[in-house]
Amino acid sequence: MADGSIRPIVEAFYQASAARDVERVVSLIADHVDWLVQGPIDVFPFLGQRRGKAAVLEGYREIARKLEVTGYQVEALLVDGDRAAALIRISSTVRATGKVMSTRVSQFSRFRDGKLVEMRGVLDSFDMVEQTIGRPLDVPGAGEQVSAT
Amino acid sequence: MADGSIRPIVEAFYQASAARDVERVVSLIADHVDWLVQGPIDVFPFLGQRRGKAAVLEGYREIARKLEVTGYQVEALLVDGDRAAALIRISSTVRATGKVMSTRVSQFSRFRDGKLVEMRGVLDSFDMVEQTIGRPLDVPGAGEQVSAT
């Protein structure tokens, strides 16, 4: 497939994401999408593996219940063959506490027949947890194990 | 710039990275590189912001002192204009404890005149800390704040 052919779809996906237009976002996702955003699902239940469009939509609803997304800035967007990669800065407020978060997220995706069929997300989850609880996490023993010289 | 022009350099960079050929990796990095891999620098001092090739090289040396990298698999590699994006699975052993880690890392980079001039890395840092200490992190209060319905 020539490069550029999926670019309009990718741009539509991220324009809809930035506009928090979940209906439009989900309309660009394939029914049997393979979706994985790694992170601590005990803390953030909207993370983790989701199979199929309905499960992804439920994830978006879960995010909306917990977080008010106040900013969505695509810092880099690459398209190459059937793949896209986006580096995104998301600002949000934790509804339960009013705490403000700023999170950098990367998304690697594949598109087929005009729809997103695979998503792999990575985010700075340790920082996200610390911002959520509003203070540094205690990491007992890590200093001796990794950071001591 | 036409797409594809930086591709040989990008491929050389990741071939050298996969081969743990730090000398070759650093030869492809610009003197005044702007380098940032987000994560808890108290736990992993090789993370964080590094300005200039010498600081990046010191970071690589720091990694080598703490971790024995046993696997480096590029799962996705995109090139678009002057940018590259890579999704990487790194396997390593923490030298101090013998603990085995598997970490997914994303790297967004820019190249100019055949050299890497900007790096933005994101990794699943919470999971990386938990794997390092070998047990789940205690996250007091997070359940009530974010994950409770």
Chain A nearest-CA distance from B55, in A, is 17
Instruction: State the Rg of chain B over Cα.
Output: 17
CB atoms closer than 10 angstroms to residue A137: 20
CB–CB of A145 and B125 under 8 A?
A: no
Amino acid at A128: M
The whole-angstrom separation of Cα B141 and Cα B3 is 48
Q: If we measure between CA atoms, which residue out of A113, A130, A121 comes closest to residue A17?
A: A121
Residue in A38, A94, A106 nearest the CB of B146: A94
Alpha helix stretches (DSSP H) within B6-147: 7-18, 22-27, 53-66, 125-133, 142
Q: If we measure between CA atoms, which residue out of A24, A108, A72 comes closest to residue B106?
A: A108
The whole-angstrom separation of Cα B132 and Cα A36 is 22
The whole-angstrom separation of Cα B142 and Cα B119 is 31
Q: What pLDDT, in 10s, does the model give residues A106-127?
A: 999 999 999 999 999 999 988 8
Greater pLDDT, B107 or B142? B107
The whole-angstrom separation of Cα A17 and Cα A12 is 8
pTM equals: 0.91
Q: Is the pLDDT of residue B49 over 60?
A: yes
CB–CB of A120 and B75 under 8 A?
A: yes
Q: What pLDDT, in 10s, does the model give residues A33-86?
A: 999 999 888 888 889 999 999 999 999 999 999 999 999 999 999 999 999 999
Residue B37: closest C-alpha in chain A: A124
Greater pLDDT, B133 or A16? A16
Q: What is the pLDDT of residue B148?
A: 45
Residue in B99, B126, B132 nearest the CB of A40: B126
Chain B nearest-CA distance from A26, in A, is 23
Which of chain A's residues have a Cβ under 8 Å away from the Cβ of B147?
A: 42-45, 66
Sheet holding B48-51: strands in order across? Answer: B48-51, B29-37, B115-123, B100-112, B83-94, B67-80
Q: What is the pLDDT of residue A146?
A: 63
Chain A nearest-CA distance from B75, in A, is 10
